[in-house]
Structure 1
Amino acid sequence: MKDTGNFVVVPEGSVTTPKGFRAGGLHCGLKKVERHDLGAIVCEVPATAAGVYTLNAFQAAPLRVTQESIAASGKLQAMVVNSGNANACTGQQGEDDARAMRAAAAEALGVAEHHVGVTSTGVIGETLPMAKLLSGIAQLPERVKPDGGDDFCQAILTTDLVQKMTCVRLNVNGKEVHIAGAAKGSGMIHPNMATMLGFITTDAKIESEFLQQQLSRITDNTFNMITVDGDTSTNDMVVVMASGLADNEALHPEHPDWEAFAAGFQYVGEYLAKAIARDGEGATKLIEVNVVGAESDNAARAIAKTVIGSSLVKSACFGADANWGRIIAAVGRAGQPVNTETVDIKLGDISVLEQSRPVRFDEEQAEAYLKGELVNIHIHLHMGKGQATAWGCDLTYDYVRINAAYRT
């Protein structure tokens, strides 16, 4: 186990580790391959809930239905998700299908309809094959189990190559509290939500207002700081459910253990965000861009996201080419204040630019560094105290191959 001081990482943990949660998945025929394509997370009690959603104007029907459920009471008892079909841009039929999905899940799982959230991921513009979906939902009760975290993770994948989940443990008022998360995403990933779905569970007791506050905060500096290809999906959503079954005193910003809870929550969000970036379609490496010395944190975020989103920077990393000119060009077009005489750039520990002037460096050493699975780009602007980190991946031949044949 990894002990960070405020919390301990639980390697074997999943979304069912927090008290009160079960999960599972099954194949109901939405995908052509025999792989889980329907999953659910279910809580023993109505859980305090919060969510963040895509900023794409064409927001998919399931997101609106889930927002409607959370708005009803600030609680959810079940999240049901299908992969293989996004139920996006499907008009009134899509709205009706999302509501039918919610109603069927409520009946099958024995929970109130307004305590069910639904979401979908997959191909845009195709209506859900409801007969298959409803048949699968009817089977969920026997598939949702205390050890069903892995099956749930498989059910939410599309072009992902790996499952993405993590869990931490901490103490609140001397009570053992867990925070766990699972996510999917590898393409159509861009800041201000990616093509990603995220699900966070915790057994902490916390009011909806403060849970939403925490989710929005970590989204700003984790999920909103990743990019793969510059596209923002219609279906992106992160939902958190808090069962309260750890029996701690309700958390709030003045609570003595609030900092530890916030640190654990941040870790879960950052871990999932980096896992999504690392698993970008066709990716061979994770790229991390650290910006410091900016005029403000907002300026640093904009610059970091511009650099990580640059196709030229991503291509250079794929080709192990230490072309710092692409990095400085991205800094300059980010639309933020920059002193063009004071910029430093490093690739890992290799300095390539100091005070906006080229530095002699060993090209072979730089090439060897860029061939690794993790590339850190450090940018120091020497203008202020603003700082931010963004994550992405390289742009490869396989990205084009995967997306050229996505529907086939």
Structure 2
Amino acid sequence: MANIAIKVENLSKAYQLGQIGTGTISRDLERWYARIRGKEDPFLRIGETNDRSVRGTSDVVWSLKDINFEIEQGDAVGIIGRNGAGKSTLLKILSKVTAPTTGKISGKGRIASLLEVGTGFHPELSGRENIFLNGAILGMRKKEIQRKLEEIVDFAGIERYLDTPVKRYSSGMYVRLAFAVAAHLESEILIVDEVLAVGDAEFQKKCLGKMGEVSKGEGRTVLFVSHNMESIKKLCNKGLLLNKGQLIKNDSINYIIEEYINLSTNTASIRFAKSENREANILKVELRNLDDEAKSEISVYQKWKIYVQFELTTAIEDFVCAIGVSNMLGAPLKTTWHEPLNLQVGTYAAEFIEDKTTFAIGLYGIAVGLSQKNTTLHYIESAINFEIVYGNEKVNNNVLRFTTDTGAILDQMISSVYKL
């Protein structure tokens, strides 16, 4: 029988929206009386599922609802889901940062977690002191930490700043040291939550290699949350798919990724709220055919364009609107932009036309960014999703020559910018 590293039974987590309290003293007393008797909170029954995009009628939402799963020792498990699905809440409960509302967790082994940059670091202490502090929190002896110290410092690449207070570290240095500590100290379970997005490309590659070594070589259990499907597919053998606080599927990673992609419904058009604090705001992104009809699907032979509406609240020189096309595993396929422009205050539209019909059958995502002289003004990583499908017309085989190379192609699409 396989050794179970983590077992989760009927796990739920409810959060009170707005100010804490039921609104009346009598109901607060009723909640308190239920708690001291070991009973369930009587007001949790009216809670709603956690759909962040919809206004609810209840002040209580279930961030997680009735989650059950087992993780075997040595498994590398990818936890996948959209923003607000409950991934980070689950990791916080597993790391014992917060307690579940109902249900229980059992397992064995020390847990090292990296939930955000600098988790568990004290800003006034040096890098060296924080390594020892983190080790002590994990229950390690001083000699164990000393044995690993040189390896941790070498992996993090911050030897010059080892005796400098970490409050003076850049975010990249922070995450380098935090990951090095979590991965090298001798815990049986390693939990990592999207922290690799902060590091540079070379360090991300090193981290993925280390997590693979920890899981496959040392037999330790790894839980990894990321929106980068390629990284998850490369590292993990099992997966959990969460949606609106519920566990949709627990299976091998290939099936989980396929199910996640199916959940990502195609969106032909989407509007975005503007912020008064930004000089430039993306207002609308839309996939269109060349007849200016909004589409969520484009036939493989068709030409198509991306329409971006944006607003400038101040005059900007050397302004650029750019888009990126990626496959649904997150691998960048194409990046394009127009020539830098000097624009006045107002609402504008940019159009990028793909006239080469070089994309294969499949699902794609569009990222949109507004910038000035390489300074990002507004960026939306996953603005819309769309699908290239077979049409009724006969398709030339050359149309399918596009490869899903992970390197972005800087191939200019036909672009234009005009004032509305």
For normalisation by structure 1, the TM-score amounts to 0.34
Larger Rg: 2
More strand, by proportion = 2
For normalisation by structure 2, the TM-score amounts to 0.33
Q: Which has the higher contact order (CA 8 A, sep 6+)?
A: 1
More helix, by proportion = 1
